[in-house]
Structure 1
Amino acid sequence: MIASKIYDFRRVTRDDVAMLCQWQARPHVRAWWGSTDPYTDEEINDPRVSRFIVSSQDHPFAFMQDYTVHGWDDHHFASLPNGARGIDQYIAEPDMVGVGHGTAFIGARVQALFDSGAPVIATDPHPDNHRAIAVYTKLGFRPAGPPQETKWGLILPMLAAR
């Protein structure tokens, strides 16, 4: 069972930018991620966002980030309680999609965020990204309102509370 696998979360560094650009250019990632722009040093070092390369058995296969929802004045989750975190991620390797890795590594990171004291975790998939919504639902996320347009695009706000 995939859920019992161990996942490693390593902080993104400048050395990962080329790999991230390649990953974000893949059609199955670009369909939902939308950007192939490389991260700048300023973005990599932004204290509001924790960015990770996710690996399984020493094989990097996914990207995940979590962020303070209070880091931007106009963020659509800014009304959540102090300590709330938002999450985003993608699986870069096509053969790793649809076999349980997403549910497992997202669940592991969400649990770590709750263990660190986050009262609520937020995510905002595109309303047509049914695969992502199904994974989030399995992990206890629930829609927190109707789809809405944000400066990051059309989203379905979803929340999980500890």
Structure 2
Amino acid sequence: MDVSFRPVTADDFGLIGRWLAQPHVARWWAHEWSPEAVERDFGPTLRGEEPAEDLVADLGDRPIGLCQRSFWHAYPEEVEEFAPYLDVPRDAMTIDYLIGDPDDVGHGLGTALVRALAADTFAAHPDCGVILVPVLTGNPASWRALEKAGFHFVGEALAAPDNPIDPPDHRVYRLDRPASTHPERSRT
């Protein structure tokens, strides 16, 4: 599956709102989906006021999901929250993702999206050496997609969940930059 990514634009806000309203997304993302809330939550990144990226995942010319990525150390409070449980290297990034349409769930698109997002992250950010992703223990579909995409379980952590109904239990996954894509190694 050929999944590609493009930056979220204001024209995508309506689609994002519809995706966030889907029960399979709302369960884990716990975002409001009104036009005002979507602009409030995604507008700052669009305007460059947040040190993160919001991306639409496309399968061919059809949008299938929403992704986010950022360097961990751009958010010191999150590094501090996870520091008792794992080392967060200075070159570590994290990703988040969703498949928007319920008809697209359960067909391997999540794994394809995560695999493509990891490759795109390493390509777009040569200073990223590792991707660390905390996932709620109660969301096995998400952590299985990471495993199938090549991420490795590295430990457990307690951290505030996005949805207040969830316990703080997280599984943390790691994917190191492949040696063949390391900027210093590929020059030789």
Correspondence for 2:27 among 31, 43, 46: 31
Where structure 1 has 5 or more consecutive residues not aligned to the other structure, the ranges are none
Deviations along 1:87-145, whole A, 9 cap, x unmatched? 00000011111111111121012012234432110112211111111111112222332
What does residue 8 of structure 2 align with?
12
Work out the CA distance in 2 between the residues paired with 1:30 and 1:151: 13
- Contact 1:127 / 1:147 at 8 angstroms: preserved in 2? no
Matches for 1:9-158 after TM superposition, within 5 Å: 9-36=5-32, 37-40=37-40, 41-44=43-46, 45-76=48-79, 79-115=87-123, 116-117=125-126, 118-150=128-160, 152=162, 154=168, 155-158=170-173
Q: Which residue of 2 aligns with 1:160?
A: 175
State which structure, 1 or 2, has the greater radius of gyration over its C-alpha atoms: 2
One-letter amino acid of the structure 1 residue matched with residue 23 of structure 2: P
Q: Which moved more, 1:81-90 or 1:33-42?
A: 33-42
User: Which has more helix, going by share of residues?
Assistant: 2
RMSD: 2.0
TM-score (norm. length: structure 2): 0.75
Give the Å deviation of 1:47: 4.8
Provide the rounded CA distance (Å) in 2 between the counterparts of 1:99 and 1:121.
Answer: 24
Displacement of 1:151 in angstroms is 6.3
Q: Provide the C-alpha distance between the structure 2 equivalents of 1:93 and 1:151, rounded to a whole number of angstroms.
A: 23
Tell me: CA distance 1:26–1:52, structure 2 relative to 1, closer, same or farther (3 Å). Answer: same
Give me the TM-score of the superposition, normalised by structure 1. Answer: 0.86
Indicate the percent of aligned positions where both proteins have the same amino acid.
Answer: 27
Deviation at 1:81, TM superposition (A): 1.8
**Consecutive unaligned residues in structure 2, runs of 5 or more:** 178-188
